Amino acid sequence: MQTIIASIIIFGLLIFVHEFGHFAAARLTGVRVLEFAIGFGKELLSWESKGTHYSFRLFPLGGFCRMLGLGEEQAEAQEKGNFQQKPLLSRFLVIIAGSLMNFLLGVVLFSLVYFLFLGVPQTQWAQIGEVLPGSRAEQAGLLPGDTILSIGGSPTDNWEAVIQQIHASPEKEISLIVQRDDQKISFTVVPAEEEGRGLIGIAPLYKRFMLMSSIGLGFTYTWFFGKLILVSLAQMVTGTIPADVTGPVGIVAVVGEVARTGLSNLLSLAAIISVNLGVINLLPIPALDGSRVIFLAWEAIRGKPVDPQKEGFIHFIGFTVLILLMIIISFQDISRLLF
């Protein structure tokens, strides 16, 4: 039950935020929104406002946004609010707004994780916040709260200086001068080697409820995972790494496992999935937002739009292929779970 509830909340939130991005951009640019729905299936509650039909539906998994003149919603050329008659820049904004909202959600979720749960690393100081059990640092006698004044005779004014000194000395004895309360104490420790770097098992001090620093980390990690997803996709396409794609079934299984480890991990996973959704939707694949961006770019180059019927047919073919791929991937996910 926990897996089902967590999956519904995460999938519902991610898709709703994506569709709300399209909705908000459409309203901003004057495109008429015919319908905005939260969920799918039978309507449970609905109302009309300013020419838009709003509804809450039976299955709370996301939603959709129908606009005049976009997709199957054909309209007369001069009909007010027709998407096709808006300036190119306005249409571009409406198309990419869904992914932009997914990136923004990633920033918000990562920021919440650092603000409420993990805290912001205080790297401007050289104070130890955590000593890992069984580590070389614990064996040497270092304690949380110790401030490292110098390593090997070189002053360590901040955490970066500490890490540089330790990383540069794998399996080599180093001497540390530490401030503990009112005492200065000398320690010797041999960093363990891991991937060519020295590690002794310490972490910096973390502080929670630091709003601006948490938001900064939110942007940093959203950018980091966005680049990581793009690089991974490129490596899979070129064959540098094996293609390992997970569909909705596999994601649900991962959500269930992560949900049992705590809310902070679940929020981090939701942030990563949101960034992934934003990136994937901007890929130039028919039926995704990225393909519509390509058509808009082609229109800008040639000075006139592509025939709507031809564009619609290409999107239909792409949508069909995506559905088939989703079925295949889901079958593979189920096979992994069962066997």
Mutual angle of helices 88-112 and 211-238, in 10-degree steps = 110
Q: Is 246 helix (H, G, I), strand (E, B) or coil?
A: coil
DSSP β-bridge partners for residue 198: 193
At 186, give phi and psi (nearest 5°): -100, 135
19 in active site: yes
**Among residues 19, 48, 73, 311, which one is catalytic?**
19
Identity of the residue numbered 133: P
Which tokens hold the place of 305?
A: 């739009």
Cα–Cα distances (Å) from 271 to 107, 113, 183, 225, in that order, read: 7, 10, 44, 9
DSSP state of 127: B
Distance, in Å, from the CA atom of 281 to the CA atom of 318, rounded to the nearest integer, reads: 13
DSSP state of 305: P
Distance, in Å, from the CA atom of 207 to the CA atom of 123, rounded to the nearest integer, reads: 11
Identity of the residue numbered 335: S
Which tokens hold the place of 318?
A: 């792409």
Distance, in Å, from the CA atom of 37 to the CA atom of 55, rounded to the nearest integer, reads: 5
Distance, in Å, from the CA atom of 144 to the CA atom of 203, rounded to the nearest integer, reads: 9
Closest C-alpha to 117, from 219, 220, 210: 210
Contact 182, 176 (CB under 8 A): no
Known catalytic residues?
A: 19
